[in-house]
Chains A and B, each alone.
Chain A
């Protein structure tokens, strides 16, 4: 199906584990973004990418790593998960100014 997908949709992990959240879009949009959504904070930008092999930090990048070897994929890795990284993570891609969001990944770090 065309659009933007995220996997897994739900993930439970333990502190110190490495976790990778996947994001895939079928539109060939150049720009892709990762946000986290927390109660009391709204959505905050973690990282974004302007094209394959071009990434940049957002507002809250610490503890996260991204890569973009192909235009359609933009994985987000938590190198050593912490409880403060429990959140809902949204991937988005953009066509001009409008952003299109995936369904989100709910991550619980125990």
Chain B
């Protein structure tokens, strides 16, 4: 069953603008991760936020997590044409340091950056 659901399914913006994607999930999690997938390629890890964290930054990426609403958002600032890709949120319900669940992915947001 799908854990994460991204919103919107597709987003088209002008280069230089900010892009915001949202993710909602259903059950308690240990962490939430965002991945990027360029067309025809494998997924690349972008950022991880743990359940006890509320906000995290990495370069032009900002992720927030609201566990009370079971939702997360990914903000990409000053978008570039190279940011065109599909973005997936993935939740992990269990991680003990010695063992880990697989990730449960949403269906993704397809982001198009218009030059």
With A41-B107, A43-B88 given, is the CB distance from A100 to B102 under 8 Å? no
Q: How far is the CB of A106 from chain B (nearest CB, A)?
A: 9
Which B residues touch A48, using CB under 8 A? 102
Are A97's CB and B42's CB within 8 A? no
- Closest B residue to A4 by beta carbon equals B42
Range class of the B interface residue count:
20 to 34
B31-54 contacts to A (CB < 8 Å): 31, 33, 35, 41-45, 48
* A97 CB contact (under 8 Å) in B35, B48, B105, B107: B48
* A residues in contact (CB < 8 Å) with B: 31, 33, 35, 40-45, 48, 50, 58-59, 90, 92, 94, 96-104
- Residue contacts A-B, CB under 8 angstroms, 19 given: A31-B100, A33-B103, A42-B2, A42-B105, A43-B88, A43-B105, A44-B105, A45-B104, A50-B99, A58-B102, A59-B102, A90-B43, A96-B95, A97-B31, A97-B92, A99-B43, A101-B35, A102-B42, A103-B41
